Chains A and B, each alone.
Chain A
Amino acid sequence: MIGVYRAGNSLLHRTPAGAKLLALLVFTTLLLIFRSPTTMGVGLIVVVLAYALAAYTPVVMLQQIWPMKWIVILLFPFQWWIAGWEAAVVVVGTLVLAVAAAGLVSLTTRTTDLLAVIEWAIQPLRYVRVDPERVALLLTLTIRVVPVINDLVHDVRDARRARGMERSVRAYVTPVVIRTVGYAERLGDALVARGVDD
């Protein structure tokens, strides 16, 4: 499965995932605390510099915020009209800058590295009897299962087409879910056989 990550060798790519996540948290929190057009201006400079630091062109940054184009186009004039230009800049700016910054972290960090941070972060859950290794197994297992379920869905879709029931949603979802549960049972048996419960 291809993630959002884009390979590279920039300073940002080499920074540890945990540090980038912490920086993202600080950045978005500051945006929420200091809600002024000045903050947005500084934030924009920071984000643009960060993208440059990752050796990305502004086009890459635009791609990250492109899915929000309609929100920006509709929301900005509306906010301006309701609450003035300062409020419009703050509301739209907070949203766009947070998405751009978060997108940059995902662009420069491998999925496996982010999962490793998550596994590290859930270590304290040991004390409430949650086994972090089991959670890690669950996450990697799911990544493997997604293509299996995808194939299964395609099988059901083909069967439905063969029977001329393309329009029936129930003829689609019911067999998909029954087969998913059946697959999970076999997978569970395989895990038990490999001693996961021992």
Chain B
Amino acid sequence: MSAQSPLQSPPVAPPGSKRFLGARDLALVAAFAALIAVLGLPGTIYAFGSSVPITLQTLGVMLAGSILGWKRGALAVIVFLVLVAAGLPLLAGGRGGLAVFAGASVGYLIGWVLGAAVIGLLVQARLPRYSIWWTGLANVVGGIGVVYLIGVPVLVFKLGTGLAALASAAWFLPGDVVKVVIATFVAAGVHRAYPQMLAPLRNRRP
């Protein structure tokens, strides 16, 4: 054990460096998983027979990726989905349980995990430089591109027709573009308030 000089500033452990998930990371992941759940509560609009509802829940997914980074962001989405699968009615419209994962929109849910990871990866790849345009691009690629890339083919497979799937994707696109813009600006505000939040991909330790 090395004695620490009292003048030295307290050591701020870079997120996730010490072990798989430090206590502070644990708290952040839990808080954002809960945020994704709560964002599903107000003002839910349904489309296509409530198979795929429009909510702010995808906004929560984008925020988790852009604020927490790829590892904690994807984990927050996974934790949220695990709680839904375990029977808590946290998915938009008060839906929950395993039935959700047997339904047609399960691809979008899996897409959320990878989407959050891709957003986080892209944002972290450029750190310590943080640009709002880059974050916006990351949210378009991860929050829309990746989510649709998995969600639409699964929907096509489940419904046995590409037409309905494409129609639903087109229906969601405008809302998702708005969510990208909101997520980007909000994430920028959070990074200004908490500059220590994200570590660059390669942990440069002194």
A131 contacts B by Cβ under 8 Å: yes
Chain B: residues with Cβ within 8 Å of the partner, total of 66
Q: 1/0 contact trace for B98-133 toward A, CB 8 Å?
A: 111111100000000000000000000000000000
Closest residue to A152 on the B side, CB-wise?
Answer: B38
A185 contacts B by Cβ under 8 Å: yes
Contacts of A75 in B (CB 8 A): 159-161, 164
A79, A106, A192: the one within 8 Å of B160 (CB): A79
Contacts of A49 in B (CB 8 A): none
Chain A: residues with Cβ within 8 Å of the partner, total of 76
Using A71-B159, A99-B102 as known contacts, say yes or no to A169 and B23 having CB atoms under 8 A apart. no
Q: Count CB-based A-B contacts (< 8 Å).
A: 218
Using CB atoms and an 8 Å cutoff, list the residues of chain B in contact with chain A. 18-35, 37-38, 41-42, 48-51, 56, 59, 63, 67, 75, 79-80, 82-83, 85-90, 93, 95-104, 158-161, 163-164, 182, 185-186, 189-190, 193-194, 197
CA distance A181 to B63 in the complex (A): 11
* 17 more CB-based (< 8 A) A-B contacts, given A74-B49, A78-B161, A78-B163: A3-B89, A5-B87, A71-B51, A79-B160, A109-B87, A111-B83, A138-B75, A142-B79, A143-B83, A145-B33, A174-B186, A177-B67, A181-B28, A181-B190, A185-B24, A192-B24, A197-B18
Contacts of A4 in B (CB 8 A): 87-89, 96-97
Contacts of B26 in A (CB 8 A): 134, 137-138, 141, 188, 191, 196
